[in-house]
Chain A
Amino acid sequence: MNDISFDFAIALAAFVAGLIGSLIGLGGGIIITPILVLGFGIDIRYAMGAALASVIATSSGAAAAYLRDGISNMRIGLFLCLATTLGAVGGAMLAGVLNTAILSLVFGLALLATAAISLRKSPDTSEITLPETPIAKSLRLDDEYPAGHIYHVQGVVPGFSVMVIAGVLSGLLGIGSGAFKVLAMDQIMRIPFKVTTTTSNFMIGVTAAASVGIYLKNGYLDPVLVYPVALGVLGGSFLGARLINVVPTGVLKLIFMVAIVFIGVQMILRGFHINL
């Protein structure tokens, strides 16, 4: 296969990954890297670099859209970005010293964890009034959503700690680690779901940017691979955002979670040098 058809196939795969990612609420990063590694035989480090660049592109687009409606909580987002960016720098440095077999293994485990988190039902906090916590009060994390309803942020310390791990995974694997961020904010900090997802979107791009500088220096960003991946994912997620109210996402989510588990197992096997 020559460059043109190869690039076109990659762009098409990235487009589909971006489309599905935005429909089921996952970033393209966690889907596109295994496709590039398992389907196109690309080195996982180049795949991670291209995926991370596309994560920043989609996050910036989505964050811009959410910024206008003012739902995302900037204080929570920036406070938690302290945790994720520091974690991401550590993760990206770690990625530079680990071998590709270990990266594949950890990536596979992260895929399985993502599927488990995504299929979990989030607690319904809309009717419950949670107590104010001293640390959230002094950091002024509490806000109002929906209008007239104040939410009190819980578990700031455990939430912050999970964000450090989310950051490490982002830097280590070249993913946005949105599922882990949502886990921390939704399940531990008990922030309203809509605020959680929009704030997570703001954070994903900032977290990814912390590790991508290190990827660039380590030579993981191959422009010839980055452009079909980033443009494909960007186009796919753009279309996905417009189809989200048209397509029945419930069934789609279930189908792709099964696929993600399957891909996760393959990545783990690849870590043990077993190719199916």
Chain B
Amino acid sequence: MNLSEPHLRSILANVMIGGVLLAAILMLVGGVVYLVDNPLAKPGDRTFSGEPADLRHPVDIVRDAMTGHTASIIQLGVLILLFNPLIRVGFSAVGFAAGRDPLYTAISIAVFIVLSLSFFI
């Protein structure tokens, strides 16, 4: 696999667009359901309190989204959006490795590690 091949770039492009679309759909569905459930709630964003713990951790977000918790469904859309660049860099690492390019495989992996650490530390 080599990223200079047009059809492979095209596959990666489709994966990225698919990710954005899926994220947008989840945010839209979650947002509409949230509005139906809370039509008169006052927005609480004027003062900062920080989000509750269950909207901060990827594992909690996925678990709560599965049970239909609307804020978690929106947050799952956000998570999918955030994983998009991670996939982009991971795909590059594989592409460079397959093209027998050790320097850029290493650079891609280093960037991938920085991204992963920021998600999971």
Contact = CB atoms under 8 A, between A and B. Distances in A.
A2 interface: yes
A222 B27 CA distance: 12
B52 to A, nearest CB: 8
Interface string A175-213: 000000000000000000000000000100110111111
Interface size class of A (residues with CB under 8 A): 35 or more
B9 A67 contact: yes
Q: Chain A interface mostly helix, strand, loop or mixed?
A: helix
B17 A61 contact: yes
A57 B20 contact: yes
Contact of A89 (B10, B16, B108, B118): B118
Contact of B84 (A4, A60, A79, A88): A60
Contact of A205 (B42, B84, B110): B84
Interface stretch (A37-45, A106-114, A241-249): A37-45
Interface in A57-107: 57, 59-61, 63-65, 67-68, 70, 74-75, 78-79, 81-82, 85-86, 88-89, 92, 100
B92 A217 contact: no
Contacts of A212: 82, 118
Interface residues of B, number: 65
Interface stretch (A24-32, A149-157, A225-233): A225-233
Nearest to A68: B13
A47 to B, nearest CB: 8
Contact of A223 (B55, B114, B120): B55
Given A3-B39, A78-B92, A231 B45 contact: no
A68 B111 contact: no
A14 interface: no
Interface string B1-31: 0011010011011101101100110011011
A101 to B, nearest CB: 13
B5 to A, nearest CB: 10
B17 A64 contact: yes
A56 interface: yes
13 contacts: A43-B46, A43-B48, A56-B81, A57-B23, A60-B19, A74-B92, A85-B114, A209-B82, A209-B84, A213-B118, A219-B49, A219-B50, A223-B74
- Which 5 pairs, one residue from A and one from B, show the smallest C-beta to C-beta distance? A219-B50, A223-B74, A213-B119, A209-B85, A213-B118
Interface of A: 2-4, 6-7, 40-43, 45-46, 53, 56-57, 59-61, 63-65, 67-68, 70, 74-75, 78-79, 81-82, 85-86, 88-89, 92, 100, 139-140, 202, 205-206, 208-214, 216-228, 230-231, 234
Interface of B: 3-4, 6, 9-10, 12-14, 16-17, 19-20, 23-24, 27-28, 30-31, 34-35, 38-52, 55-58, 71-72, 74-75, 77-78, 81-82, 84-86, 88-89, 92, 103-104, 107-108, 110-111, 114-115, 117-120
